[in-house]
Amino acid sequence: MSHILPQHSHPQPLYCAQQVKTGEVEAAKLAGLEMYQLMLSAGEAVFNHVVGQYGCDIKLLVLCGGGNNGGDGYVVAKLAMQKGIKVTLWSVVSPDKLIGDA
């Protein structure tokens, strides 16, 4: 049995940027973490999921924006490189334009 997903001509946002930012602050407070620690934890969770699904014998492309979610990507890339995974990192902003904990 196959499942057909709805096709959209443009992305369908689940949350606006401000909702995500507010949710992250609330999550960090509930967990007793600083935002930087939350970013490290999120990056580590993504890395562990990728390795759990695909192992370490992979090539990984990490795309990073300029905000805190981009910071999660930098954490993923660093952890992958430490495990010997070949990483290509693309940032949509120059390092001097990074904001927040990124």
Specify if 84 maps to a domain.
yes
Measure the CA–CA gap between 46 and 66, rounded to whole angstroms: 18
Specify if 72 maps to a domain.
yes
> What's the domain range around 40?
35-94
Q: State residue 2's pLDDT score.
A: 57
Specify if 27 maps to a domain.
no
Work out how many domains the chain is built from and give that number. 1
Spell out the alpha helix ranges (H) of the chain. 17-31, 35-54, 68-82
Q: State residue 21's pLDDT score.
A: 86
Specify if 59 maps to a domain.
yes
Specify if 73 maps to a domain.
yes
Measure the CA–CA gap between 84 and 31, rounded to whole angstroms: 31
Q: State residue 4's pLDDT score.
A: 62
Specify if 10 maps to a domain.
no
Give residue-wise pLDDT tens across range 41-64.
999 999 999 999 999 999 999 999
96 SS3 class: helix
Specify if 58 maps to a domain.
yes
Q: State residue 86's pLDDT score.
A: 98
Measure the CA–CA gap between 96 and 33, rounded to whole angstroms: 26
Give residue-wise pLDDT tens across range 59-76.
999 999 887 778 999 999
